[in-house]
Amino acid sequence: MRHCRRYSRLFQSISKVQDENGWSGPVDIVSHSMGTCIVRYLLEVIDGTEHSQKVRQLIGLDLPNNGSALAELFLLSETWRRDH
């Protein structure tokens, strides 16, 4: 399956960098746009409950999912306070 190959390549790359730097602890992954969705899918669905990959945090930049609905509440409340 294609997503399994991506999973394998991604974590082979992470393992290579860890080996080169002598690091065996959890990693932070910073990704952009759809890359974040792909990595999250690989971690949550493919790796699932096994948690074979030790990822401390996933940081996504410029996600294509329009952010959080909560953000709109904060924006609206700021606008309302400014106008009233």
- Residue 78: pLDDT over 70: no
Count structural domains, the chain: 1
- Which tens digit of pLDDT belongs to each residue from 21-57? 999 899 999 998 888 888 888 888 877 777 777 889 9
Contacts of 56 (CB under 8 A, 6+ apart): 25, 26, 27, 28
Q: What percent of the chain has pLDDT over 70?
A: 69
Q: Give whole-number Cα distances, 10 to 16, 39, 55, 58, 73, in Å.
A: 10, 9, 12, 14, 36
Q: Which domain holds residue 25?
A: 2-83
- Residue 82: pLDDT over 90: no
Whole-number average pLDDT of the chain: 78
What pLDDT score does 75 carry?
64
Does the reported pTM lie above 0.85? no
C-alpha to C-alpha distance for 55 and 42, rounded to whole angstroms: 12
